[in-house]
Amino acid sequence: MSLEPFGARLRRAMDERGPLCVGIDPHASLLAEWGLNDDVAGLERFSRTVVEAVADRVAVLKPQSAFFERFGSRGVAVLEKSVAEARAAGALVVMDAKRGDIGSTMAAYAESFLHKDAPLFSDALTVSPYLGYGSLSPAVALARESGAGLFVLALTSNPEGGEVQHAVRSDGRNVGATMLAHLAAENAGEEPLGSFGAVVGATLGDLSSYDLDINGPLLAPGIGAQGATPADLPRVFGSAVRNVVPNVSRGVLRHGPDAVALRDAAERFAEEIRHTVTSS
């Protein structure tokens, strides 16, 4: 049996817990800051601490798959456990794996993260559409079947992204806008929120030339260490700001390994973002 659609579950989670996504990014320098070794034991301690501290109170947790995969099968086992425990505590899990391929390979990636019986089943998956949006069709189909969602890279905050995302097509529309239009079509008629979202950087400034009202969520990295603040969200996202899922990683994680400090930091961000969104 499939879950209730991701968009509906996300809308409810953001309304109840506040619109915040906390990243789980156990890179070597952060493990060191926590006094942990850069090994599987350190990885497990880090991930378990974050999940236990915040999974019962934030809307979304977003583990970055690469930081687990670098430890091989033992690291992936830690990721599996972290995903299961986060979801059991009530958080939605967005797997940040940015998968993108074609045909049966894309289907296999989708099955890895979006099939309801997969060990790494997540509520949503980040994907790259730059082999053509149609290449994502297997992931779109399985997400619909499973009640999961996707976050498609559209307007990312890294400077290099512009050479692809701002490239202008023969119809005069650039690639980033084209991806947004595809997502709006996927979400047409869905209530209270579609399940197919875009990744749009909170550091990008004025995006008024883009139609961000895709009736789907907008995963917004860049809050905190990358320089954006909750106060920037209405200016960047305009009328779509209520559907923004701001991602904060280091801004919360730097308060570890103290679980209370992690929890307090997450709650402060969630409340500040909630106040900004409702006041705009």
Q: Is 116 a catalytic residue?
A: no
Question: Would you say 245 and 218 are in contact if contact means Cβ atoms under 8 Å apart?
Answer: yes
Which residue in 62, 81, 98, 116 is the catalytic one? Answer: 98
> Does residue 192 have a cis peptide bond before it, meaning omega lies within 30 degrees of 0?
yes
Concatenated DSSP letters for the chain?
-PPSPHHHHHHHHHHHH-S-EEEE---HHHHHHTT--SSHHHHHHHHHHHHHHHTTT-SEEEEBHHHHHTTHHHHHHHHHHHHHHHHHTT-EEEEEEEE---HHHHHHHHHHHHSTTSTT--SEEEE--TT-GGGGHHHHHHHHHHT-EEEEEEE-SSGGGHHHHTPBPTTS-BHHHHHHHHHHHHHTT-SS--SEEEEE-TTS---TTS----SS-EEE--BSTTSB-GGGHHHHHGGGGGGEEEEESHHHHTTTT-HHHHHHHHHHHHHHHHHHHHH-
Q: Give me the active site residues, please.
A: 98
